[in-house]
């Protein structure tokens, strides 16, 4: 019987599919994330590996698994895996694209609304000192309708965020390496802007892009100085796209108005300086943390392992 190792606990749907396919399932049962040495030891006799994007699968892990045929990554990203070395070893690497689109787009909009209306800040106030009562100038925020949203990365998630933003009355502009066609832009009600222009003219900037070598620290000190002093930045893409030291300096100096971070440069570590700022919202990488999205992701990784076990090609291969 072939064997799959799950390096983290997954929704039951995944194990159900795998067991129905006649595959022996072993799961990491420890607290927190699996350690690198533990992962190396665990894959010695496995045919398949399912792992979350928070776990590094490097050359050492791959070398420790001589029977390995597929690494099914539980997540849309896959920068945690040495995909080139896996390809060299003849190992397929897959991801779970698209199914978390709605969840992450909803979080994008939710964080924007929370920043604008100071919802988290208000909750903290009510849990501490409370307030004296309604007053005309008390605890004012801003409406988002009529404001300009700049989306960096207009893939599935960015496009869905654009549709939701349009429904809320925002003017949407975007930046991506390849501009959409005019009919596509008109149908989505978005306008292309060069990166520098988007930075200077947006009231909100959302990062909905995957991590690439080209966009490491795309948002640095120089970029924050170009933003409006009232503008807010929201990162639900990947942490290293922002130079967090530069962001913290810009927030502290009042160069920009606020930030909401769901991903971090040195995840899961969060710099203490951010925690002290009232105009910053910090969430623990929950962009696609919904029952619906995680179940859909579980089905993809389990189905891919079952396909390979049956001698069929996997779907969503990222190192073809």
CA pair distance 280, 178, nearest whole angstrom: 31
Catalytic residue flag (residue 36):
no
Catalytic site residue from 89, 117, 142, 285:
285
**CA gap 82, 31 in Å, rounded:** 25
Which listed residue (106, 185, 197, 267) is catalytic? Answer: 267
Within 10 Å of residue 12's Cβ, how many Cβ atoms? 10
Phi, psi at 124, each rounded to 5°:
-65, -40
238 catalytic? Reply is yes
Backbone angles phi, psi at 55, to 5 degrees: -110, 130
Can you read off the two tokens belonging to residue 294? 């995680």
Whole-angstrom distance, CA of residue 262 vs CA of residue 245: 16
How far is residue 8's CA from residue 276's CA, in Å, rounded to a whole number?
Answer: 32
Check if the beta carbon of residue 190 is closer than 8 Å to that of residue 162.
yes
285 is catalytic: yes
Give the DSSP H or E segment for 260. Answer: strand 258-261
Query: Which of these is catalytic: 118, 121, 238, 255?
Result: 238
Q: Which two tokens stand for residue 49?
A: 């590996």
β-pair partners for 81: 57
Q: Determine the Cα–Cα distance for residues 221 and 270; give it in Å rounded to an integer.
A: 19
268 preceded by a cis bond (ω within 30 of 0): yes
Mapping DSSP to helix (H, G, I), strand (E, B) and coil, where does residue 48 land?
A: strand
Supply the residues annotated as catalytic. 238, 267, 285
């Amino acid at each position: 019987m072939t064997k799959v190792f799950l390096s983290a606990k997954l929704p039951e749907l995944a194990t159900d599919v795998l067991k129905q396919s006649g595959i022996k399932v072993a799961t990491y049962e420890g607290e927190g994330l699996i350690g690198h040495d533990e992962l190396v030891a665990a894959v010695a006799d496995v045919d398949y590996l399912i792992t979350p994007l928070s776990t590094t699968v490097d050359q050492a892990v791959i070398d420790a698994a001589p029977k390995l045929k597929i690494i099914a990554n539980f997540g849309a990203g896959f920068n945690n895996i040495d995909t080139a070395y896996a390809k060299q070893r003849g190992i397929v690497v897959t991801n779970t694209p698209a199914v978390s689109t709605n969840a992450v787009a909803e979080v994008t909009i939710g964080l924007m609304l929370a920043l604008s209306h100071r919802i988290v800040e208000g909750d903290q106030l009510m849990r501490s000192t409370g307030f004296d009562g309604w007053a005309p100038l008390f605890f004012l925020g801003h409406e988002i309708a009529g404001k300009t949203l700049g989306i960096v990365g207009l893939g599935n998630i960015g496009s869905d965020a654009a549709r939701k933003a349009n429904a809320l009355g925002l003017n949407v502009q975007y930046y991506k390496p390849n501009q959409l066609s005019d009919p596509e832009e008109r149908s989505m009600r978005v306008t292309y802007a060069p990166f520098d222009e988007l930075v200077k003219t947006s009231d909100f900037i959302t990062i909905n892009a995957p991590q690439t070598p080209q966009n490491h620290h795309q948002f640095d000190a120089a970029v924050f100085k170009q933003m409006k002093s009232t503008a807010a930045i929201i990162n639900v893409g990947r942490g290293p796209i922002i130079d967090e030291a530069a962001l913290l300096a810009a927030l502290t100096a009042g160069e920009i108005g606020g930030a909401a971070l769901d991903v971090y440069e040195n995840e899961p570590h969060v710099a203490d300086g951010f925690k002290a700022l009232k105009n910053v919202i910090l969430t623990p990488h929950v962009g696609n943390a919904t029952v619906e999205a995680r179940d859909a992701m579980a089905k993809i990784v389990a189905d891919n392992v079952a396909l390979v076990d049956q001698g069929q090609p996997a779907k969503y291969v990222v190192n073809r």
